[in-house]
């Protein structure tokens, strides 16, 4: 009787493993279908640019933020996808000798304020609460669209913060602080709510690297201007404006970005390699352990630009596509880089990804099939053995 039960049990277990192997394959296929183009793809870019300092003497923090604003806008992120938080109005400040302008260098060559700018949160609205609400999307229903971060699981978000900070905190308007834990938890909530695909976090403040040390959510690449115990310094001083006009770290990043355009193939690693202690007078840091891709393979335009991956599959000739994909994947990226327009590059890279995915899928399919047959064999084998034994 006992043996009979045991036999039943073994049979049941084996049968279950057979079913499980099959359903696992279905789940794989389904998730593959839903995910469409693997890890790489983001379909939209967002930027959250925060200046948390008030008062005229913090002009440089406003200039930092507006410099980033100008750059991401130049690289293709539209105003609707940029959330700018400025804690004070320096451009139309009565102390500003040059009305409606903000300059980031003492030659006053580039007016960062320009004639076309949209600031979404300003003055007293720049608070820790509003910032965290913006990130997590827990906002009042009547809040206008321009003040919301309407991201999804395919959004790459560039988060830039600047202000006065310290060990694991950043001051907002000299009145309240946001801690490293707050931002880390907000990012985790965003991840759980599928509000981002990848985040690039950049912060320019004293002891900035402590601000990203508490992150624990996946797909976050982070960089900061100075390590624990170090200050971040300003770069240019304009005697007509009367105050320092930009910070060293932001100045370095902006001048690095000034050389690239929308179709650039420059990578994050190149930016990180440009960090230079002699210039910054602080140790800029990078955190890559949460990030799944290699920074040397991540384009700068993945975060600073509005360049999105596009799906270009024609459903009627999938076979042709597969062939083309094989060709493309066999041809090395040098060919891709040689092609003239950015559009073509994008197309070919998409093929490449798709090709590799499809091959992988095929491989997985045959593996799954063998697992099914193996479990069938096991069932019959065990049945025979138990029959023989008992």
Among 55, 56, 233, 383, binds other proteins (CB under 8 A): 55
Q: Cα–Cα distances in Å, from 13 out to 3, 106, 132, 147, 166?
A: 15, 76, 49, 55, 58
User: How many amino acids of this chain bind other proteins (CB under 8 A)?
Assistant: 33
Chain-centroid distance of CA 286 in Å reads 14
Is 206 an active-site residue? Answer: yes
Binding status of residue 118 toward other proteins by CB under 8 A? yes
Nearer to other proteins, 68 or 284 (CB): 68
Helix, strand, coil: what percent of the chain each, to 5?
A: 50, 15, 35
Cα–Cα dist 159/366, whole Å: 43
- The total of other beta-carbon atoms located within 10 Å of residue 218's CB is 14
Binding status of residue 117 toward other proteins by CB under 8 A? yes
DSSP E strand boundaries for 88-206? 121-122, 155-162, 165-166, 169-172, 176-179, 198-204
- Answer for the pair 201, 223: CB distance below 8 angstroms, yes or no: yes
Nearer to other proteins, 115 or 338 (CB): 115
Among 81, 155, 156, 173, binds other proteins (CB under 8 A): 173
Kind and range of the H or E run holding 73: helix 59-74
Give Cβ neighbours of residue 328 (< 8 Å, ≥ 6 apart): 348, 351, 352, 355
Question: Taking CB under 8 A as the criterion, which residues in 77-96 touch other proteins?
Answer: 87, 89, 91-92
Among 26, 35, 175, 231, binds other proteins (CB under 8 A): 175
Binding status of residue 57 toward other proteins by CB under 8 A? no
Among 144, 316, 319, 366, binds other proteins (CB under 8 A): 144
Binding status of residue 190 toward other proteins by CB under 8 A? no
Catalytic residue among 61, 197, 206, 235: 206
DSSP E strand boundaries for 89-168? 121-122, 155-162, 165-166
Q: How far is the CB of 53 from other proteins (least distance, A)?
A: 10
Catalytic residue among 42, 61, 164, 235: 164
Among 75, 119, 252, 336, binds other proteins (CB under 8 A): 119
Three-class SS state of 217: coil
Q: How far is the CB of 85 from other proteins (least distance, A)?
A: 12
Residue 67 backbone dihedrals phi, psi, to 5 degrees = -65, -45
Nearer to other proteins, 107 or 332 (CB): 107
Nearer to other proteins, 116 or 341 (CB): 116
Which stretch, 97-105, 209-217, 227-235, 366-374, contacts other proteins (CB under 8 A)? 97-105
Binding status of residue 216 toward other proteins by CB under 8 A? no
CA pseudo-torsion sign 330, 335, 339, 345: positive
Is 164 an active-site residue? Answer: yes
Nearer to other proteins, 45 or 91 (CB): 91
Binding status of residue 115 toward other proteins by CB under 8 A? yes
Q: How far is the CB of 66 from other proteins (least distance, A)?
A: 11
Provide the pairing of β-strand 82-86 with 121-122: parallel
Residues catalogued as catalytic = 164, 206
Which residues of the shown chain bind other proteins in the complex (CB under 8 A)? 54-55, 87, 89, 91-92, 98-101, 113-120, 122-125, 140, 142-147, 172-175
């Amino acid at each position: 009787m006992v043996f009979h039960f045991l036999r039943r049990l073994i049979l049941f277990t084996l049968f279950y493993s057979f079913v499980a192997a099959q359903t696992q394959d279905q789940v794989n296929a389904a998730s593959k279908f839903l995910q469409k183009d693997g890890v790489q793809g983001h379909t939209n870019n967002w930027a959250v640019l925060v200046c948390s300092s008030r008062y005229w003497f913090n002009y440089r923090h406003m200039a930092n933020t507006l410099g980033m604003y100008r750059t991401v806008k130049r690289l293709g992120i539209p105003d609707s996808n940029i959330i700018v938080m400025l804690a004070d109005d320096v451009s139309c400040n009565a102390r500003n000798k040059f009305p409606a302008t903000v300059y980031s260098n003492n030659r006053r060559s580039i007016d960062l304020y320009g004639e076309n700018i949209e600031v979404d949160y300003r003055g007293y609205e720049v608070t820790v609460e509003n910032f965290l609400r913006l990130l997590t999307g827990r906002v009042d229903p009547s809040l206008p669209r321009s003040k919301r971060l309407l991201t999804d699981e395919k959004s790459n978000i560039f988060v830039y913060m600047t202000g006065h900070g310290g060990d694991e905190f950043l001051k907002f308007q000299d009145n309240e602080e946001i801690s490293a834990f707050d931002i880390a938890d907000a990012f985790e909530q965003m991840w759980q709510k599928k509000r981002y695909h990848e985040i690039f976090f950049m912060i320019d403040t004293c002891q900035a690297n402590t601000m990203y040390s508490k992150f624990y959510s996946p797909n976050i690449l982070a960089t900061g201007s100075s390590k624990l115990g170090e200050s971040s310094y300003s770069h240019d001083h304009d005697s007509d404006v009367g105050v320092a006009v930009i910070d060293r770290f932001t100045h370095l990043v902006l001048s690095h970005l000034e050389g690239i355009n929308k179709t650039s193939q420059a990578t994050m690693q190149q930016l990180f390699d440009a960090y230079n202690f002699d210039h910054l007078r602080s140790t800029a840091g990078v955190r890559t352990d949460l990030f799944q891709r290699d920074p040397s393979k991540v384009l700068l335009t993945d975060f600073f630009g509005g360049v999105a991956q596009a799906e270009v599959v024609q459903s009627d000739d999938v076979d042709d596509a597969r062939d083309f994909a094989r060709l493309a994947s066999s041809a090395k990226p040098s060919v891709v880089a040689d092609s003239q327009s950015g559009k073509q590059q994008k197309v070919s890279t998409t093929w490449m990804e798709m090709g590799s995915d499809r091959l992988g899928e095929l491989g997985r399919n045959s593996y799954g099939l063998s697992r099914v047959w193996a479990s069938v064999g096991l069932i019959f084998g065990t049945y025979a053995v138990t029959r023989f034994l008992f």
